[in-house]
Chains A and B, each alone.
Chain A
Amino acid sequence: MSRPSDHYDSPAPVAAEGIVQPRLGFVGWLRWFWRQLTNMRTALFLLLLLAIAAVPGSLVPQRSSDPNGVTQYFTDNPDLAPALDKIQAFDVYSSAWFSAIYLLLFISLIGCVIPRTKHHFLALRAKPPRTPARLARLAGFTTRPAPAGTDAASAVDSARGLLAAGGYRVALFDSAPQADAREFSVSAERGYLRETGNLVFHFALVGILIAVGFGSGFGFSGQRVLVEGQTFVNTLLAYDSFNPGRFFNDEGLDPYKLTLNDFQVTYETKNLKAYGQPIDFTAGVSVTRRGQATETGEVKVNSPMRTGGTDVYLLGNGYAPSITVKNPQGDVVFTDAVPFLPQDANLTSLGVIKVPDGLAKQLGMIGFFYPTQAKATSGAFYSSFPDLEYPLLTLNAYAGDLGLDAGVPTSVYSLDTDKMTQLTGGKTGTKSIELKPGETQQLPNGLGSVTFDDAHPGAKTGDFSGSVLRFASFDIHNDPTQLWVLSFAVLALLGLLTSLFVPRRRVWVKAVEEADGSVRLEYAGLARGEDPALESVVTALADRHSDLLLSSQLATPAPERT
């Protein structure tokens, strides 16, 4: 079956000891190298190496899946991290060494599978091999006397019928081992599907690799945070962050409009053991594609929306308190719903407000938002429930230079206070600003005022449920080869199933004419690969064949021999 030479099923190597290797030329070396690369031992070695090489990526945070973890790792291990970075420990799965291993493995795979495919095509056309001279040493060897009067040729012919009906490919042979005796035999083979399945499986793996490679090249993924009421247009600039594949071309973006109409959250309130655990997140959205009517839809966790050639996933959510800052004259200098990043399960959230213009000095504020504020014995605030039961916003104000003019991009979620003076909270002696929805407070030093706008001002007193807007963070992806990957994976699974469960075997039935004119029947089999049922199959064949011979003899009495 043209498997690699060190497959256990291949003939044992001829001992080469003592033979002086002829000097290999360049081509000889190449050939030698190729043979090494495509043998089972190398495949096994590379497979195990791949398994080992995958381990470090689970021990050290990866840029691809956990970029914040990498930043944190650099902070925590300032000496170790750069060294690890040099050996691409933070990008294990795209590292040179990891790629080298799997590329070699796949080259080995291709080099292994192509000759096997050729060989298999030939085997599919070839006749089953000639019956071995002695069956007695083979698996399940069984011998039965043929019913009296059966002649050898027709006995073998009926066995051929049985085997052919059982899905075997068959070939008849007759031979005369001795002058006065003749032997008729049928050689049968089945289970070619086993090898087919194996080849399909290995080819499908190559298919997966190629499809994955292309998918990452032509696709993209981007993130966008939307506060309730906000709209996003699917263009490059509208993304908060965007990771294009190598061959990505932004002309392919369909500029549809996506609006987050509302964001519904349900928290567990009945089961006290799981009090406050989220049960459902639903983003109600409307989508307008070019030249089409607006459609409304839902995006949920586990239930993305497929639109305009992209898949839209709901990956996160939180509160976006609306904040308005006015100058001492009462003119609005800042008003916006600012997404605050959740810090814990009860959505204690952290946010930053930057007011660069319109006040005597640049103003920065770091705020904590507590959807249901509670006070620990230490006096610290925390949130005791993720929904809006008793919302409170606390702000610490800083005045000075926000550092926005340096031309260095800064994160909207962090405030660099190096060149700023703290005005409230901490050691300033001035209390932090504390606001409930709808409340306004003056900033220190007569800078102006800050208001925590109530998003639902008409509500009954004490009902805060609609007082603060929520935001949803969406991941928007396009992976043009995803379906290909799935198809190859399914193909691989099917190939695997056939290759592991279809038995490949040879079976022989031989009818030997004895000197006294009687006919002796012999049955035996040979497994090609794992075949636990072989022996019972051979015995069952012998039984059925005997029955068949007997019944056909009863039906048509053997003609008188002359």
Chain B
Amino acid sequence: MNLNELSILSLYSAMAVYALAFIAFSFDLAKRSAAVSQAQGDALRSAGPESVRSAGALGGTATLTRISARIVNDASTPYGRSPSLRVGVSLTVLAWLIHLVADVLRGLAAGRVPWANMYEFAMTGTLLIVTVFLIVLTRADLRFLGTFVTGMVLVLLGIAALRFYVEVAPLPPALQSAWLVIHVFVASLGTGFFALGFALSTVQLLQFRREAALGAATSRPAGSVPVGSVPAGSVPVVSGPAGTETPGWKNPLRFLATLPSAATLENLAYRVNIIGFILWTFTLMAGSIWAEKAWGRYWGWDTKEVWTFIIWTIYAGYIHARATRGWRGSRSAWLAIVGFSAVMFNFGIVNVFFKGLHAYSGL
């Protein structure tokens, strides 16, 4: 067995472990939903405004274990430790290690950095997505994104292994440059941050919808209760007008009540996305410097350059939106989502189907 075959074997093993982690994380989400139903059931049984309040107070004090001091966890339903969550994280770390081995072996087999064609980008890019996720976990408890991260990585790796696989080949002259190492690596790293930002913004939107429905549901009967003054999620809603908080098994998103509030999620998403934006800015600049050396012009509106520019502009728009009255909150979240979709489009579609100088997909 040569190094590359070992690398492939490791990659498939990593995928298997990611799949297990994905299952564990999904299990955790299901348990969260169950915990929410439970909390609501309790609240209903002891009905009466007082007990509702106290359930809310509980939610306010509970903090998740590894949350950093900077980030408030303002989940409305307390939800602390779950074995499946820990199993999920442990499995992700294990899968990440095997993934790392696969990546390093591929690099050794090729005798260069393992990011010179689509297969290798996908492999290294997903490794970086998981790396960013694990590093961010040490600072903020975003374990609830485990399903998303492992799920996405699995899909991308699956596509890479089935559709993008190419044999080890030496670098063509156009790619023989230190800028390949820098430019592509930073782009992949930026993608890791954008991926997390995307996930956070998506959850933020869902959470916002839930909070809005709750606000409507609770303020209606009380008449005078201002929206937001009642701890969201702890309120027994029999049937919300939007149907988002239906107790029982009907709403698969009940676990949202155990996640931070939309406002907290928005702040988290912003922090992750601006790091991504800075890395992307650097990618754009490093790419221009490389293009100047390789093609004799630093900017030529080649398709890949166009898309890098589009992505950069969308995220600049996102940052502006966050600072614009009327655009904070959900609207800016949509921009982050559009931005990440453009990143994925750039990687999956532009590389493969669009004509241009960046003909390095290896396909």
State how many angstroms separate the Cβ of B237 from the closest Cβ of chain A.
Answer: 31
CB < 8 Å neighbour of B317 from A51, A274, A278: A51
Asked if B249 is at the interface (CB within 8 A of a chain A CB), the reply is no
CB distance A54 to B306 under 8 Å? yes
Contacts of A28-58 to chain B: CB distance below 8 A: 40-41, 43-44, 47-48, 50-51, 54-55, 57-58
Which residues in window 311-335 of B have CB below 8 A to A?
313-314, 316-317, 320-328, 335
Residues of chain B within 8 A (CB-CB) of A303 are 293
Inter-subunit contact B177/A54 (CB<8 Å): no
Task: For the complex, give the distance between the alpha carbons of A493 and B296 in Å.
Answer: 23
- Interchain nearest-CB distance for A40 vs B (Å): 4
Instruction: Report B265-307 residues with CB < 8 Å from chain A CB.
Output: 267, 270-271, 274, 277-278, 281-282, 285, 288-290, 292-303, 306-307
Q: Give the CA-CA distance A71 to B45 in the complex, in Å.
A: 75
Report whether A43 and B320 are in contact in the complex, using a CB–CB cutoff of 8 Å.
yes
Could you say which of A44, A279, A315, A482 has the most chain B C-beta atoms within 10 Å of its C-beta?
A: A44
Evaluate whether A9 and B323 lie within 8 angstroms (CB atoms) in the complex, with A69-B355, A532-B267 already known.
Answer: yes
Q: Is B239 an interface residue (CB 8 A)?
A: no
Whether B313 and A41, one on each chain, are in contact in the complex, defined by CB atoms closer than 8 angstroms, is no
Least CB separation from A205: chain B residue: B316
Closest to A9 in B: B323
Chain B, residue nearest A486 (CB): B289
In angstroms, how far is the closest chain A Cβ from the Cβ of B3? Answer: 13
Contact A302 B321 (CB under 8 A): no
**A51 adjacent to B300 (CB under 8 Å):** no
Establish whether residues A47 and B316, one from each chain, have CB atoms under 8 Å apart when the complex forms. yes
Q: Any chain A CB within 8 A of the CB of B172?
A: yes
Whether the Cβ atoms of B169 and A268 lie closer than 8 Å is: yes
Q: Are A493 and B281 in contact (CB under 8 A)?
A: yes
Enumerate A83-137 residues with CB–CB distance to B below 8 Å: 92-93
From residue B269, how far is it (CB to closest CB) to chain A in Å? 12
Whether, in the assembled complex, B222 has its beta carbon less than 8 Å from a beta carbon of chain A, the answer is no
A482 partner, pick from B174, B298, B302, beta carbons under 8 A: B298
The residue from B274, B277, B314 contacting A51, defined by CB atoms under 8 A apart = B314
Decide yes or no whether A221 CB sits under 8 A from chain B: yes
A302 and B293 in contact, given A8-B325, A277-B172 (Cβ under 8 angstroms): yes
The reply to whether A65 and B314 contact each other, CB–CB distance below 8 Å, is no
Distance (whole angstroms) from the CB of B170 to the closest CB of chain A: 5
Any chain B CB within 8 A of the CB of A280? yes
Report if A50-B313 is in contact (Cβ < 8 Å); known contacts: A7-B324, A61-B355, A279-B170.
yes
Decide: A58 and B354 in contact? CB cutoff 8 A.
yes
Instruction: Point out the residues of chain A lying under 8 angstroms from B71, CB to CB.
Output: 532
Residue in B70, B278, B302, B325 whose beta carbon sits within 8 Å of that of A533 in the complex: B70
Q: Mark A58-71, 1 if CB is under 8 A from B, else 0.
A: 10011011100100
Q: Once the chains bind, are A536 and B69 in contact (CB under 8 Å)? A: yes
Which B255-272 residues have a C-beta within 8 angstroms of A? 267, 270-271
**Shortest Cβ distance from B180 into A: residue:** A302
CA distance in complex: A479, B356 (Å): 23
B227 in the interface (beta carbon within 8 A): no
Q: Which of B174, B277, B278, B316 has the most CB of A within 10 A?
A: B316
A281 to B171, CA, bound (A): 12
| Number of B residues, CB within 8 Å of A | 60
A485 interface contact, C-beta 8 A: yes
A interface residues, tally (CB under 8 Å): 63
Give the distance to chain A from B323, nearest Cβ to Cβ, in Å.
Answer: 6
Given contact pairs A65-B301, A496-B281, A532-B71, A44 touches B173 in the complex (Cβ within 8 A) = no
Determine if A301 and B303 form an interchain contact, defined as CB atoms under 8 angstroms apart.
no
Q: How far, in angstroms, from A301 to B357 measured CA to CA in the complex?
A: 13
| B320 contacts A47, C-beta separation under 8 Å | yes
B278 near A51 with CB under 8 A, answer: no
Task: Tell me whether A162 is interfacial, beta carbon within 8 Å.
Answer: no
A326 beta carbon closer than 8 Å to chain B = no
A323 proximal to B (CB < 8 A): no
- Could you tell me the distance between the alpha carbons of A3 and B298 in the complex, rounded to whole angstroms? 34
Cα-based distance from A380 to B317 in the complex (angstroms): 55
A279/B173 in contact, CB under 8 A: yes
Most chain B CB inside 10 Å of its own CB: which residue of A489, A492, A497: A489
Select the residue from A61, A311, A496 with max chain B CB neighbours within 10 A. A496
B176 at the interface (CB under 8 A from A): yes
B309 beta carbon closer than 8 Å to chain A:
yes
Distance A64 CA – B303 CA, assembled complex (angstroms)? 12
Q: Is B205 located at the chain interface by the 8 A CB criterion? A: no
Asked whether, in the complex, the Cβ of A315 is within 8 Å of the Cβ of B170, the reply is no
Residues in B whose Cβ lies below 8 Å from that of A315:
295-296
Query: Nearest CB to that of A5 among chain B residues?
Result: B325
- Determine the chain B residues whose CB is within 8 A of the CB of A9 once the complex forms: 323
A273 interfacial by beta-carbon distance below 8 Å? yes
Residues of chain B contacted by A482 (CB below 8 angstroms): 292, 298
Supposing A40-B324, A58-B350, A278-B173 touch, asked if A66 and B267 sit within 8 A by C-beta, the answer is no
* B167 x A274 contact (CB < 8 A): yes
The yes or no answer to B57 lying at the interface (CB within 8 A) is no
B323 near A8: Cβ-Cβ < 8 Å: yes
State whether the Cβ of B62 lies closer than 8 Å to any Cβ in chain A. no
- What is the bound-complex CA distance between A44 and B274, given in angstroms? 17
Picked from A47, A57, A280, A302, the residue with its CB within 8 Å of the CB of B306 is A57
B217-235 CB mask vs A (1 if < 8 Å, else 0) is 0000000000000000000
Cα A6 to Cα B299 with chains together (Å): 34
What A residues does B70 contact at CB under 8 A? 532-533, 536
| Chain B positions within 8 Å of A281 at CB level | 173
Q: Are B327 and A44 in contact (CB under 8 A)?
A: yes
Which A residues between 428 and 446 are near B, CB-CB below 8 angstroms?
none
The yes or no answer to A75 lying at the interface (CB within 8 A) is: no
Q: Is the CB of B317 within 8 A of A47?
A: yes
The reply to whether A532 and B326 contact each other, CB–CB distance below 8 Å, is no
Closest to A12 in B: B325
**Is the CB of A354 closer than 8 A to any CB of chain B?**
no
CB distance from B107 to the nearest CB of A (A): 16
A interface residues, Cβ below 8 angstroms from B: 3, 6-10, 12, 40-41, 43-44, 47-48, 50-51, 54-55, 57-58, 61-62, 64-66, 69, 92-93, 212, 221, 268, 271, 273-274, 277-281, 300-304, 311, 313, 315, 475, 477, 479, 482, 485-486, 489-490, 492-493, 496-497, 500, 530, 532-533, 536
Residues of B near any A CB (own CB < 8 A)? 69-71, 167-174, 176-177, 267, 270-271, 274, 277-278, 281-282, 285, 288-290, 292-303, 306-307, 309-310, 313-314, 316-317, 320-328, 335, 350, 354-357
Instruction: Jot down 28 A-B pairs with beta carbons below 8 A, ordered by A.
Output: A8-B325, A10-B325, A40-B323, A41-B327, A47-B316, A47-B320, A48-B314, A51-B313, A54-B313, A55-B306, A57-B306, A64-B300, A65-B301, A65-B356, A212-B299, A268-B170, A271-B170, A273-B167, A274-B168, A302-B176, A302-B290, A482-B292, A485-B298, A486-B289, A489-B288, A493-B282, A496-B278, A500-B274
Q: Pick the 6 closest A-B CB pairs, nearest first.
A: A274-B169, A273-B167, A313-B296, A301-B173, A51-B313, A40-B324
